[in-house]
Amino acid sequence: MAHIVVVDDSPTEVYVLQTMLERNGHKVSVAKNAEEGIALVKAVQPDAVLMDVV
């Protein structure tokens, strides 16, 4: 399945997304902020990125 990066500073939101995605067979990597997210995307080259925008 897909490798998905989740970028969110809310532990609850991360837990819900990560659990749902992993139960459906996806690999999930998590970043807590935009800076971490950019580094992670460069490192793992995911299929998709999910993030909140404020």
What six digits make up the tokens of 13?
């939101």
pLDDT in tens, 18-49: 999 999 999 999 999 999 999 999 999 999 99
Show the 3-state SS of the chain.
CCEEEEECCCHHHHHHHHHHHHHCCCEEEEECCHHHHHHHHHHHCCCEEEECCC
Please list, in sequence order, all residues whose beta carbon lies within 8 angstroms of the beta carbon of residue 6, skipping any fewer than 6 positions away: 14, 17, 18, 21, 28, 29, 30, 31, 49, 50, 51
Rounded to whole angstroms, how far apart are CA atoms 27 and 54?
26
For the chain, domains (ranges, CATH) are 3-51 (3.40.50.2300)
Q: What is the pTM of this model?
A: 0.92
pLDDT of residue 14: 97
